[in-house]
Amino acid sequence: MSWLPDDFVHPVLVPLPGGAHHLRPIREADAPLDYPAVMGSRERLWTIFGPAWGWPADTMTYEADRIDLLRHEKEIAAHQSFNYALFDAAETALLGCVYIDPPEKAGADGEVAWWVVDELVGSEVERAFDELVPRWIATDWPFERPRLLGREISWSDWLALPEHPGA
């Protein structure tokens, strides 16, 4: 049984209010923008995602990132999990990501996490992103109990939860 309804169609473009930024599913071809975004914010991202996901390692290479993005692209196509990138309007900069995954831990039917690059922390763009993601998940995704990781539950509390029966 899939974690999403068979007829679910995932969004392909999600504008942030104001029109200067948008989300779209990440692709392997985004590696030239993704790699510097991730590695430029690696230390902060590691404090958020490192203990749970072991990401992003300080040894991550461009090629490893490209391969990871190809995996994400294939998982999106198969509706196994989703990674949306936050871009400026012209897609000249990747500024963050949203991960929408099947639940690893009991008590949710989807798990969502997101981040922005260091230069956007505390900015109007980050505030708009933080407001958009929960609303978007509630309105455009078929979840009854989505879990917002690092937002409504700390990562350490999430790690302590029992495994999801289907994980």
What is each CA distance from 38 to 5, 13, 45, 80, 92, in whole angstroms?
Answer: 32, 21, 8, 23, 15
Q: Which residue, 50, 1, 14, 29, is CA-closest to 136?
A: 14
* 3-12 tens-digit pLDDT: 999 999 999 9
* 81-124 tens-digit pLDDT: 999 999 999 999 999 999 999 999 999 999 999 999 999 999 99
> Is it the case that residue 2 has pLDDT exceeding 60?
yes
For residue 85, the tally of other CB atoms under 10 A from its CB is 22
Model pLDDT, residue 63? 98
> Is it the case that residue 1 has pLDDT exceeding 60?
no
Model pLDDT, residue 129? 97
Domains of the chain, first to last:
14-160 (3.40.630.30)
Q: How far apart are CA 167 and CA 160, in angstroms?
A: 15
Model pLDDT, residue 43? 97
* 16-56 tens-digit pLDDT: 998 899 999 999 999 999 999 999 999 999 999 999 999 99
Query: Whole-number mean pLDDT of the chain?
Result: 95
